[in-house]
Amino acid sequence: MGIEELRSAVRGRVLLPGDAGFDQAVQPWNLAVAQPVSGVVAVADAQDAADVVKFARSTNRQVVTQTTGHGATGGIEDAILLRTAALDRLEIDAERRTARVGTGVQWGAVQAAAATHGLTGLAGSNPVVGVTGYTLGGGFGWFARKYGWAADAVRAFEIVDADGRCARITADSDPQLFWALRGGGGDFAIVTEIEFDLFPLPRLYGGRVMWPADRTRAVFDLFTELTTDAPPELSVWLQRYQIPGAAPTVAIDFAYLGEPDEGRALTTRLDSIEGILTDTRGALTPAQIGRITAEPTDPSPSLSRGELLTDLDDAVVKTLIEAPVAPLLNIQLRGLGGVLAETRPEGGARGPVTEPYALYLLGLGLPHLLDDIQTRFTDILDALGPHITGSKPYTFLAPGETASAAFEPETLARLRQIKTTRDPHNTIRANFPLHH
């Protein structure tokens, strides 16, 4: 059966190599990742997704689902790429404090809808990230220290399994698959809809305070103070920037889940460092969470690396705080802890993170910079040595890494067994497959 027959198998739009619009349709959010797939299907509904799975199974191809492509990793030659923008159901049940969200929905839309009821989802920092991919990988952002992983808030998944059957998966209907989908990645089924808990958030205070780079050490010292004694309602990130053509800077980003007066009191020490360049502190709604970091919302080429840190001793300071940022764009440190560090017996595959800090490195993924950026990544990680554990959140994995870095060995073995049982022909492929 040729790939051309895919056009008659579904109702949604099918684009094949050579078609007008194909090159644009295959592009992920990270433009540095190539996706030489055999076809792209903009599915019309869940039945379309089921029909694509059946077609892929019969032609010995894989199916890859992408809403935005934020987690794209490459390595999907000859696969069929599902685009899910049409799966845009978004319903808020304010009384039950739940949301039902189609896999085409991005976090910004959920937050805007929930905010009208004084509620929030456990969103990340960027409003254009897809809810489903983020949640399947665990998902942690500004609210994780208080409420934990986004995956653990899920009540039900609507899926298409590897045989092309539609099903609703809950803790009662299929506890094994329900556990795996909550943080184990998208390797088990095509998720078409998620139902998850929302959380009360009547008030929110946060923003960014930025200084010139000569204040970096003072800002870092304050960051360590704030993260050492912060209540779980307060999350604090440190950012070092080297934007091409601009002077280097350092910033503190934070979010406080509570009254603005309380948030101001907790972060008043930020005013003790002179030379503030920008200050966006203020009251926010859950719909405005993306304003804190103001991350890019348009596709761009990038290279990234994420790690978890055991501490912030002198060796870490020398590597991450005293050395120049360039040729990278950004060195980010996130304070973790809180609920993230707790073992939750009813939780999903994404277990606790006991390391107190996360490190995220970002570079511009242009061809003439790639070698220098990769060399800088290697130098930083070599210098950090025993201060990085090698374990990391699934959503921090970068192209070239494997899912094994995101899970404890026992968890990985269990996930692989579920994958083998549920998808023995390996028809469904996540960004980071469990088997290589």
199 touches 143 (CB < 8 A): yes
Amino acid at the residue 328: L
Q: Which CATH class is domain 90-200+408-422?
A: alpha beta
- 204-396 matches 3-83 in CATH topology: no
Whether residue 69 is predicted with pLDDT greater than 90 in this model: the reply is: no
> Please, which residues bridge with residue 167 across strands?
159
Q: What is the mean pLDDT of residues 196-205?
A: 93
Q: Quick one: pLDDT at residue 103? A: 97
Of 432, 186, 181, 221, the closest CA to residue 322 belongs to 221
Architecture of domain 3-83: 2-Layer Sandwich (3.30)
Phi, psi for residue 6 in degrees, rounded to 5: -60, -30
Cβ of 97: how many Cβ atoms within 10 Å?
16
Q: Could you give the CA distance from residue 65 to residue 166 in angstroms, rounded to a whole number? A: 16
Confidence of residue 113 (pLDDT cuts 50, 70, 90): very high
> Which residue ranges make up each domain of the chain?
3-83, 90-200+408-422, 204-396
Q: What is the mean pLDDT of residues 302-320?
A: 94
**1, two tokens:** 């059966």
Confidence of residue 67 (pLDDT cuts 50, 70, 90): confident
Alpha helix locations (H) across 59-204? 107-115, 131-136, 144-147, 175-181
> Please, which residues bridge with residue 239 across strands?
251, 332
What are the residues whose beta carbons fall under 8 Å from the beta carbon of 168, sequence distance 6 or more? Answer: 156, 157, 158, 159
Whether residue 409 is predicted with pLDDT greater than 80 in this model: the reply is: yes
204-396 folds as Vanillyl-alcohol Oxidase; Chain A, domain 3 (3.40.462)
Whether residue 10 is predicted with pLDDT greater than 70 in this model: the reply is: yes
390 touches 382 (CB < 8 A): no
CB environment 53-68: b (16+ within 10 A), e (fewer)? bbbbbeeebbbbbbbb
Q: Could you give the CA distance from residue 331 to residue 305 in angstroms, rounded to a whole number? A: 10
Q: What share of the chain is helix, strand, coil (3-state, %, to 5)?
A: 35, 25, 45
Q: What is the mean pLDDT of residues 229-254?
A: 97
Q: Could you give the CA distance from residue 264 to residue 249 in angstroms, rounded to a whole number? A: 23
**What does the DSSP assignment read for 280-309?**
--EEE-GGGGGGTT----S-B-EEEEEEEE
The answer, as to whether pTM is greater than 0.85, is yes
Whether residue 210 is predicted with pLDDT greater than 70 in this model: the reply is: yes
Q: Could you give the CA distance from residue 358 to residue 307 in angstroms, rounded to a whole number? A: 6
What are the residues whose beta carbons fall under 8 Å from the beta carbon of 111, sequence distance 6 or more? Answer: 120, 121, 123, 127, 286, 287, 289
Whether residue 299 is predicted with pLDDT greater than 90 in this model: the reply is: no
**% pLDDT > 90, the chain:** 90
Q: Quick one: pLDDT at residue 1? A: 63
Q: What is the mean pLDDT of residues 86-107?
A: 98
Q: Quick one: pLDDT at residue 436? A: 58
The mean predicted confidence, pLDDT, of the chain is: 95
Q: Quick one: pLDDT at residue 298? A: 86
pLDDT in tens, 278-288: 999 999 999 99
Whether residue 186 is predicted with pLDDT greater than 80 in this model: the reply is: yes
**175, two tokens:** 């506890």
* Cα dist from 419 to 20, 401, 434, whole Å: 36, 19, 8
Phi, psi for residue 302 in degrees, rounded to 5: -150, 160
Query: By three-state DSSP, how is residue 75 classified?
Result: coil
